[in-house]
Amino acid sequence: MYISEPEVRAALTYEGLIPAIRQALIDYSADLVVQPPRTVLRAGNAEGHLNGWFAVMPVIAGDVMGVKTVTFFPGNAVQGLHTHMAVIELLRRSTGEPLAIMDGRLITEMRTAAVSAIALDALAPPAANSLGILGSGVQAHSHLEALRMVRPALRDVRIWSRTAANAERLAQECGARSVSIEEAAAADVVLTVTASPQPILEGRWLGPHALVLAVGACGPVLRELDSEAMLSSSVVAESRSAVERESGDLLLSGATVYAEIGQILSGAVSAPGPGRVVFKSVGLAIEDLTAARLVWAHRSRIAAQGHSL
């Protein structure tokens, strides 16, 4: 069974995805998931940050296994192409039978936003009502939808982008304001979703109790946050080992991880005390597997209904 992106879009909702990934993150931190480090190969197509990469992400959890192959080519944006593309293969754990192959681009987009929404719900102060977004691309759009689902009180949305026209366009689409980077960074919750290889968010701009959802800059030599932002905050990771291996925000600042989000969700570790918090995500195969299983189950139900007619 091949499942195309339009079919994935019809099957996958944040209402179903967010609670499923929440449980998956708890299971991951409880060592119930078999997930080796992702293998990353540089494409050698360009110099510097435009050099794309190809990654393989296998995982086993519950009754299924899966592998995602994903590419990231920053230069695609100027060609009107997606910067991230992916394919996911889902297999039955008990027999190794292939269950489905599906387009993984939208799954990657949605599961990333779902993880940030889960972190927001667990870590943001209850009174938080402002959201600053640094970036105006695909992830900015998807995050807005997911974050508003768990915290509808985030009504003051501020958007900054290196391309002012893009920030203005997104602001008009979602009822937000296009602002300076300093004003966006002063929000209660700050989301960084840029492709910048150098720090764009400075700690001196952050409020004393800010929650930063750091999503971009996936790579050991890339960073979106400066050292002050990292070192003045408690760092919560999607995966301690993955962030310590793959996050330039952590490695280049010398910051340390306080806990994994799954540990906080399960109650094994308390949430950080008052003060700034940075939630750093780099993307996990278990998140892709969880989303792919939801898509496959939806498609299987439709197929079964068709046979019964």
Cα–Cα distance list, 220 to 162, 198, 248, 291 (Å)? 23, 12, 4, 26
| Domain extents in the chain | 2-107+286-308, 125-282
d(CA 146, CA 54): 27
Strand partners for 68: 57, 88
pLDDT tier, 304 (very low <50, low <70, confident <90, very high otherwise): confident
As its CATH architecture, domain 2-107+286-308 has 2-Layer Sandwich (3.30)
Structure-model confidence comparison of residues 116 and 137, the more confident one? 116
Query: Is there a contact between 190 and 119 (Cβ–Cβ < 8 Å)?
Result: no
Pick the CATH number of 125-282 from 3.30.460.10, 3.40.50.620, 3.40.50.410, 3.40.50.720: 3.40.50.720
Confidence of residue 74 (pLDDT cuts 50, 70, 90): confident
Q: What is the pTM of this model?
A: 0.94
Query: Using one digit for the tens of pLDDT, what is the confidence trace for 227-285?
Result: 999 999 999 999 999 999 999 999 999 999 999 999 999 999 999 988 999 999 999 99
Q: How far apart are CA 229 and CA 226, in angstroms?
A: 6
Provide the pLDDT for residue 222.
87
Burial 10-41 (b: 16+ CB within 10 A, else e): ebbebebbbeebbebbbbbbeeebebeebeee
> Which positions ≥6 away from 217 have C-beta within 8 Å?
192, 194, 196, 197, 223, 224, 225, 247, 248, 249
Residue 272 has what DSSP assignment? Answer: P
Is the separation of the CB atoms in 272 and 234 below 8 Å? Answer: yes
Q: What is the per-residue pLDDT for 27? A: 98
Q: How confident is the model at residue 48 (pLDDT cuts 50, 70, 90)?
A: confident
pLDDT at 196 over 90: no
Tell me the per-residue pLDDT of 153-176, one tens digit each, with 9 for 90 and over.
999 999 999 999 999 999 999 999
- Residue 233 CA to residue 214 CA, distance in Å, equals 12
Instruction: Say how far apart CA 305 and CA 309 lie, in whole Å.
Output: 7
Query: Does the pLDDT of residue 309 top 60, yes or no?
Result: no
Residue for token digits 């982008």? 161
- With beta carbons less than 8 A apart as the criterion, state whether 30 and 130 touch: no
